[in-house]
Amino acid sequence: MDLESWMTTKPVVSIIAPVYNEEPIIDELYRRLVAVLDTIGEPWELVMVNDGSTDRSVELMVALHARDPRVRVINFARNFGHQNAVTAGMDYARGDTVVIIDADLQDPPEVILQLLDKWREGYHVVYAVRSERKGETWFKKFTAKLFYRVIYRITDVNIPLDTGDFRLMDRQVVDAVKQMREHNRFIRGMTSWVGFRQTGVDYVRQERFAGETKYPLRKMMRFALDAITGFSYFPLQVMIYASLVLALIAVLAVPIVAFLRLAGASVFEGQATTLVVLLLLSSFQLFFFFIMGQYVARIYDETRQRPLYIVSKVWERPDALHAGGEAAAAPAANHAGGVTSPGQTAG
Ligand code: UDP
Ligand code: MG
């Protein structure tokens, strides 16, 4: 498609790629994506969100934009985290469908064609299910498997197992998720929560094309806590069971100890027993304090109402149609005219 018609046509597909220090990957990502997207015969755009990279990622992305204005670059003022980068991508995307993809090519761009096929069949959300993971450590695979199963068990929304953010969303779903401005975001849960017709497509998660994971253990733990606190009260409710068990032990202990002492046995004497029990109970209590603290901290995050991210600069053709961004995406924003039902394409 020539440039002028690109400018005036709403893209059918917006690809969102969050980027944090992915310098060795950017050109290859663009090459692989273009190879796939140019086969669909519909207008598309690539929204790259630079999440405060400290390497040359942003220069490379801006160079892509200069060559191909279908690439739009959103530059954050600092690192706001993967989920906020994806959120910005959704705020800026203009397409009838939006596909979220990791920049590191662990999610093969070729799968996008299968996602689009399902969308044309009438599904509103098509998530990609990792049937196999290549090139990840034993520890990462194990913790990921465990994590998705725990989440599945304790949350009220049906978050499909073994899915990441790699998924396609219809415009209606994007507009719904855009209204959810919660701060500690678990986007794969949020896209399940909104409902609509959802389905999955299997794929093999590839090795990272280059570089290292940007999710160290610390970030993974935080992410897991966001997922649990965002979608479940289970950790708060489970405290009642601990409390009942301890009360029961206390009630039983009185007659048992009295009986043993009367029978002449020298049990539970001295400070050691008291100290051990005290330490054990304190550790229980502190653990539950920690859990409550996790919820309280998140309430605090909500009450401050800070923006989810700060954009320092956007590279896009000035005459390109605008979709907004944080300001325009405030809750209750009306996106009239932007709603296309699945299967309906502008081609
Ligand atoms: N990412 C980001 N901000 C961050 C961390 C990661 O935008 O603070 C991006 C990263 O560049 C990649 C995607 O999020 O495109 C997934 O990160 P990564 O591949 O490191 O995670 P993993 O696949 O190892 O779980
Ligand atoms: Mg990755």
3-class SS of residue 121: coil
- Residue closest via CA to ligand 1's atom 25 equals 215
Nearest ligand to the C-alpha atom of residue 25: 1
Nearest residue to 73 via CA among 16, 13, 112: 16
Q: What is the pLDDT of residue 334?
A: 35
Question: What is the number of the ligand 1 atom nearest to the C-alpha of 86?
Answer: 7
CA dihedral over 131, 122, 333, 47, signed as positive or negative:
positive
- Residue closest via CA to ligand 1's atom 22 equals 213
Compute φ and ψ for 169, nearest 5 degrees: -130, 140
Kind and range of the H or E element at 90? helix 82-92
Same-domain status, 294 and 311: no
Written as one string, the DSSP assignment of 176-193 is HHHT---SS--HHHHHHH
Same-domain status, 185 and 201: yes
In a domain, 220, yes or no: no
Predicted confidence pLDDT, tens digits, the chain (347 residues) = 565 666 667 888 999 999 999 999 999 999 999 999 999 888 999 999 999 999 999 999 999 999 998 999 999 999 999 999 999 999 999 999 999 999 999 999 999 999 999 999 999 999 999 887 777 788 878 888 888 888 888 887 878 878 889 999 999 999 999 999 999 999 999 999 999 999 999 988 888 888 888 888 888 888 889 988 998 889 998 889 989 998 999 899 889 888 888 888 877 777 888 888 899 889 989 999 999 999 999 999 999 999 999 999 999 876 555 444 444 443 333 333 333 334 343 33
Measured distance CA(221)–CA(260) in Å, rounded: 46
DSSP state of 133: E
Enter the tokens of residue 53: 């990279």
Pocket of ligand 1 (CB under 6 A): 18-20, 22, 51, 79, 81-82, 85, 102-104, 106, 213-215
Domain residues for the domain of 125 are 3-212+307-346
Which residue among 73, 104, 134, 311 has the greatest number of ligand 1 atoms within 8 angstroms of its CB, and so is best to mutate?
Answer: 104
Same-domain status, 276 and 207: no
Same-domain status, 166 and 295: no
Question: What is the number of the ligand 1 atom nearest to the C-alpha of 19?
Answer: 11
Same-domain status, 296 and 329: no
For the chain, the domain total comes to 2
Same-domain status, 203 and 340: yes
Q: What is the pLDDT of residue 45?
A: 93
Nearest residue to 94 via CA among 151, 140, 47, 53: 47
CA of 208 to the centre of ligand 2 (A): 6
Nearest residue to 44 via CA among 53, 52, 35: 35
CA of 214 to the centre of ligand 2 (A): 7
Cross-strand partners of 129? 163, 202
In a domain, 162, yes or no: yes
Nearest ligand to the C-alpha atom of residue 216: 1
Same-domain status, 37 and 143: yes
In a domain, 283, yes or no: yes
Same-domain status, 40 and 147: yes
Same-domain status, 243 and 189: no
Enter the tokens of residue 324: 């907004």
In a domain, 23, yes or no: yes
